[in-house]
Structure 1
Amino acid sequence: METTSQSRLPRERPLLTLGAAILVCELVGITGAVFTATGVESWYTTLERPDLAPPNWVFGPVWTTLYALMGAAAWLVWREGVGRARQVALGLFGVQLALNFAWSFVFFGQEAIFAALVVILALLFFIGTTATAFWRIDRRAALLLVPYLAWVSFATYLNYAFWVLN
């Protein structure tokens, strides 16, 4: 059962709660980036790169933007959703966020390209499932996940290509 303060909080303090939702997503990104930075400085530079792999500097700004969009999307669902639909949607969001973190750990931290491919395929599934659940609550929230879905689709190609090439 939901308390009254939980359901009113995003409406009574919209900027504060929006900032908190974005901050949570950015913190997941920053935590995952620790593995990325370590991997990029070591073994990643030894890998044969796919032709479409962007330069390394592109990833920071892209991911920062995507995490902000993800936070805004989750905030809209928190704000507009009610009951079980909101619980399910935010639960799915949490799963995909955990898989997002896990991918960085597996690919860069564990240097396990194939295992990372398995993780990113699960991530793609959960992003799509999350977007569907978000669509039922607030279409804007689902649309905010489209760039994320597109980028992770591209990252899936890159992950696969790294696996094939290395």
Structure 2
Amino acid sequence: MTTYIPNLTLPSGVFNNLPVSILLPIALGTAVGYSTRPKDTKRQYLSWKQPPFRPPPWVFGPAWTLLYGLMGYASYRAVHLGTSPLNSPATIAAAKHGATLYSIQLGLNLAWMPLFFGFNRPVEATIDVLALLGINGYLAYLWGGSVDSTAGCLLVPYVAWLGFASYLSAGTGYLNNWDLSTPKDDATKRA
């Protein structure tokens, strides 16, 4: 089990404020999405060889907005309810451990899009999403079993999506020989 690491954990004020808990991941995810130039990202996405069952580009915005909101609400429930002085020391410790894990996974989550689309690094992006899958699977287990079952359940769609995202990330990397650099003919069209 990881430990509570204050320097790697979002401030408790984030977790104890419901609107902030929900809106922070949505706002950060939206900012990262727009920083990678959505029109360029969509063009890149459609130009690469893709594994079967890839969704159309328009699915990602609504899906991630919902998932960020669910993960934010899960974090609020787990940390706000779990750190209540009325709880056992074990429950409080699990809630705090989860807060550190949640903070780390949020950073990893925000790194995936720049890695994959900005830097064209599919190997690193796939490692990132696999780490996210493992951390969030454990986080759902930790929070769901030791702190608040609803918080654990709220993370299940996110964990499922991360499993699918791992498949898409690895599949796209593999089908494109782990090279997502812009083809020369695309580079000359933009010049």
- What TM-score results when the alignment is normalised by the length of structure 2? 0.75
Which segment is superposed worse, 43-52 or 126-135?
A: 43-52
The CA deviation at 1:85 is 2.3
Amino acid at match of 2:82: G
Contact 1:92 1:129 (8 Å CA) reproduced: no
Give matches, 1:14-163, under 5 Å: 17-34=17-34, 35=36, 37=38, 39-82=40-83, 83-135=92-144, 136-163=146-173
Q: Matched residues in 1 for 2:46 and 2:117: separation?
A: 11
- Partner of 2:7 in structure 1? none
The CA deviation at 1:32 is 2.3
Amino acid at match of 1:147: P
Q: Matched residues in 2 for 1:89 and 1:36: separation?
A: 32
Gaps spanning 5+ residues in structure 2: where? Answer: 1-11, 84-91, 177-191
Q: Matched residues in 2 for 1:61 and 1:31: separation?
A: 14
Moved over 6 A (4+): none
The CA deviation at 1:24 is 0.9
Aligned residues with identical type, % of pairs: 36
Amino acid at match of 1:89: G
Secondary structure at the counterpart of residue 52 of structure 1: coil
CA RMSD of aligned residues (A): 1.9
Contact 1:47 1:162 (8 Å CA) reproduced: yes
Q: Matched residues in 2 for 1:114 and 1:36: separation?
A: 21
Q: Deviations over 1:110-165 (max 9, x none)?
A: 11111111111111111112112211100100000000000110011111110111
Count how many residue pairs are aligned between Structure 1 and Structure 2: 154
The CA deviation at 1:38 is 5.8
Gaps spanning 5+ residues in structure 1: where? Answer: 1-5, 11-16
Contact 1:38 1:108 (8 Å CA) reproduced: no
